Structure 1
Amino acid sequence: MLKVALVDDHVLMRDALAKLINSLNGYTVLFCAGNGAQLREMLGSGNEPDLVLMDVMMPGMNGFETTAWLTTHYPDVKVIALSMQHDERAVIRMLRNGAKGYLLKDTDVDELKTAMYEVANKGIYMNDILYKNIVHSIAGNQQPTEEAEKQIALDMTEREKVFLRWLCTEKSYKEIAAEMYLSPRTIDGYRDALFDKLKVSSRVGLVLFAIRNELVQV
């Protein structure tokens, strides 16, 4: 029986989600909290959930701050982010802070079940909407295998690795160019070359590559 905690400031949403999860085989809601500060108060010896469904935008201690705190203090607790909208920077920030999945709040029950199972058993889950934005679907343009991806990581130049680390922050491409003392056109060239190498089509895809291959600390 996997223990789940819900962190969301919308009471109706939180209560409905708790009722749904409690009706699923193999899951039980341990407790609910309205923000990160309440979650911290509720955690204690023997009271740690296996999974936390974390609202991103909350008053007080929001999902970004709470996920980072959980990753530091309770690294075995896995976080799935919940959001009303797909915002690339929010996705990157949640992943960077330790979230293992990112779901939109209008997801269906089957996808929620899949996400919880994948995160609990395999470590990470991305919903179909985000996945389609990350991976090219053009025929013959497939993602590299895990072995090929590891080789790409090994063969990367130090400059490319530095660029990837900056991508995992909230800085814009223009701000990254300034930090690396390069022109925006050169930065665009780095980005496009990595898109081509890794067969991804978004910044989130590059961040996932960096996290999977431990090129950035989470």
Structure 2
Amino acid sequence: MGIRVVIVDDHKIMREGLKSLLTREMDIQVVGEADNGRAATQCVRDLDPDVVLMDLTMPEMNGIDATRRIAADYPSVRVLALSMHSDRRFIEEALSAGAQGFLLKDCAFDELVNAIHEVVADRFYLSPRITGVVVKDYLGRRGRPESASSIRLTPREREVLQLIAEGKNTKEVAFSLDVSVKTVESQRMQIMRKLKTNSIADLTKFAIREGLTTLD
């Protein structure tokens, strides 16, 4: 049996391109696709893949929060982050969430195939450019006290914040998360207290800065 792969990306052309290339590999089988993080967790539950190729910036639920949920609920599934973002924050967040590897979208196809085999073998894989970013950051931090963000949002608060930043109103957020309007209002107030703001614009800026959503 081949390596079972799920492709997660909000751009259909990206999913179709990856699927077309991967199906040429004798030992890789694309068993599913998803266009956001919430759909990705559903795919993992229903299809039991070996590897998830995970985009990071997507609507509804971003790839970092989806990775965190998959790593917690389905620890045998390997998540390989595939992103256009090479800055330290995205790399650190993805790996902390449980990704087994990190590739840039402009990588060669042979590197992607190699990375899939590496994570299936329970080894980590970072593309050379990503390794350079990680090492440079480590050297820059060495000798300095570790700086930790003073703002800690729960996974559910991150989901609520992303949906608010994407322009959804309270009822729409409640519908997306299958919770009550009262619950969403309570979580929104908690987020605002933590961020010390009453401004939706400030919430949106924070969400973009943290990689929960983009300006697209």
Q: Which residue is equivalent to 2:53?
A: 53
Q: Which residue is equivalent to 1:123?
A: 123
Distance in structure 1 (CA, Å) of the matches to 2:129 and 2:102: 10
Q: 1:108 to 1:42 in 2, by over 3 A?
A: same
Matched, 1:12 2:18: no
- The root-mean-square deviation of aligned C-alpha atoms, in Å, is 2.1
Per-residue CA deviation, residues 16-68 of structure 1 (Å, 9 max, x unaligned), is 101111111210101000011112333445x2100000000000111011000
SS in structure 2 of the partner of residue 129 of structure 1: helix
Q: Which residue is equivalent to 2:186?
A: none
Q: Which residue is equivalent to 1:24?
A: 25
Per-residue CA deviation, residues 57-110 of structure 1 (Å, 9 max, x unaligned), is 000111011000001110100000011120101100000000011110010011
Q: Which residue is equivalent to 2:37?
A: 36
Distance in structure 2 (CA, Å) of the matches to 1:34 and 1:133: 28
Q: Which residue is equivalent to 2:94?
A: 94
Q: Which residue is equivalent to 1:132?
A: 132
Q: Which residue is equivalent to 1:70?
A: 70
Q: Do 2:38 and 2:60's aligned partners in 1 also have CA atoms closer than 8 Å?
A: yes
What is the CA-CA distance between 1:135 and the residue it aligns to? 4.3
Q: Which residue is equivalent to 1:156?
A: none
Percent identity (aligned): 36
Q: Do 2:87 and 2:133's aligned partners in 1 also have CA atoms closer than 8 Å?
A: no
Q: Aligned letter for 2:81?
A: A
SS in structure 1 of the partner of residue 121 of structure 2: helix
Distance in structure 2 (CA, Å) of the matches to 1:2 and 1:123: 15
Gaps of at least 5 residues in structure 2 are 137-141, 152-216
Q: Aligned letter for 1:115?
A: A
Distance in structure 2 (CA, Å) of the matches to 1:123 and 1:86: 21
Per-residue CA deviation, residues 91-130 of structure 1 (Å, 9 max, x unaligned), is 0000000001111001001111111111111421010111
Distance in structure 2 (CA, Å) of the matches to 1:44 and 1:59: 20
Q: Aligned letter for 1:42?
A: C
Q: Do 2:44 and 2:70's aligned partners in 1 also have CA atoms closer than 8 Å?
A: no
Q: Do 2:83 and 2:105's aligned partners in 1 also have CA atoms closer than 8 Å?
A: yes
Alignment of 1:177-196 (within 5 A): none
SS in structure 2 of the partner of residue 82 of structure 1: strand
Distance in structure 2 (CA, Å) of the matches to 1:108 and 1:83: 13
Distance in structure 2 (CA, Å) of the matches to 1:50 and 1:24: 15
Alignment of 1:203-218 (within 5 A): none
TM-score (norm: length of structure 2): 0.61
Gaps of at least 5 residues in structure 1 are 137-159, 177-218
Q: Aligned letter for 1:67?
A: T
Q: Do 2:88 and 2:134's aligned partners in 1 also have CA atoms closer than 8 Å?
A: no
Q: Detail structure 1 runs of 4+ shifted over 6 Å in the superposition.
A: none
SS in structure 1 of the partner of residue 133 of structure 2: helix
Distance in structure 1 (CA, Å) of the matches to 2:63 and 2:45: 19
